[in-house]
């Protein structure tokens, strides 16, 4: 397998929370129904994951944030579920596997995504 793309993102949880308070519709545009009610640390980490994924995909215009859901496997490992615009880009690039690592601590959330063929 070859690496097609790598993306990383870091989010200040407090600043992200302020953004959601200033722009309430942002929560609807960025998060799926399954994600929207999670605690702020988890939302910030999911936002970082979606940003990291966009970077791994080359950050093309037209991706919809709600076309990605960050889920947890029963083991606790995070995974990306893609559909719509994001799934189309994944297929266009020939990506068969997405790896995700997320973390949040001390007011910072971070994520890294590796895309492989």
If you average pLDDT over every residue of the chain, what do you get?
Answer: 95
Distance CA 80, CA 28 (A): 18
Instruction: Assess whether pLDDT exceeds 90 at residue 1.
Output: no
Q: How confident is the model over 3-42, as pLDDT tens digits?
A: 999 999 999 999 999 999 999 899 999 999 999 999 999 9
Q: What pLDDT band is residue 70 in, cutting at 50, 70 and 90? A: very high
The reported pLDDT for the residue numbered 49 is 98
Per-domain residue ranges of the chain: 3-116
CATH architecture of 3-116: Alpha-Beta Complex (3.90)
The answer to whether the pTM exceeds 0.85 is yes
Distance CA 61, CA 65 (A): 11
Q: Is 37 exposed, middle or buried (0-12, 13-18, 19+ CB in 10 A)?
A: exposed
What does the block give as tokens for 89? 């880009």
């Amino acid at each position: 397998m070859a690496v097609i793309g790598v993306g990383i993102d870091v989010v200040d949880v407090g600043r992200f929370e302020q953004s959601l308070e200033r722009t309430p519709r942002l929560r609807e545009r960025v998060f799926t129904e399954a994600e929207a009610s999670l605690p702020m640390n988890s939302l910030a980490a999911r936002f970082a994951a979606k940003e990291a994924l966009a970077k791994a995909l080359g950050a093309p215009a037209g991706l919809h944030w709600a076309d990605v859901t960050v889920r947890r496997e029963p083991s606790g490992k995070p995974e990306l579920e893609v559909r719509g615009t994001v799934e189309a880009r994944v297929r266009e690039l020939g990506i068969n596997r997405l790896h995700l690592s997320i973390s949040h601590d001390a007011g910072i959330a971070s994520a890294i995504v590796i895309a492989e063929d």
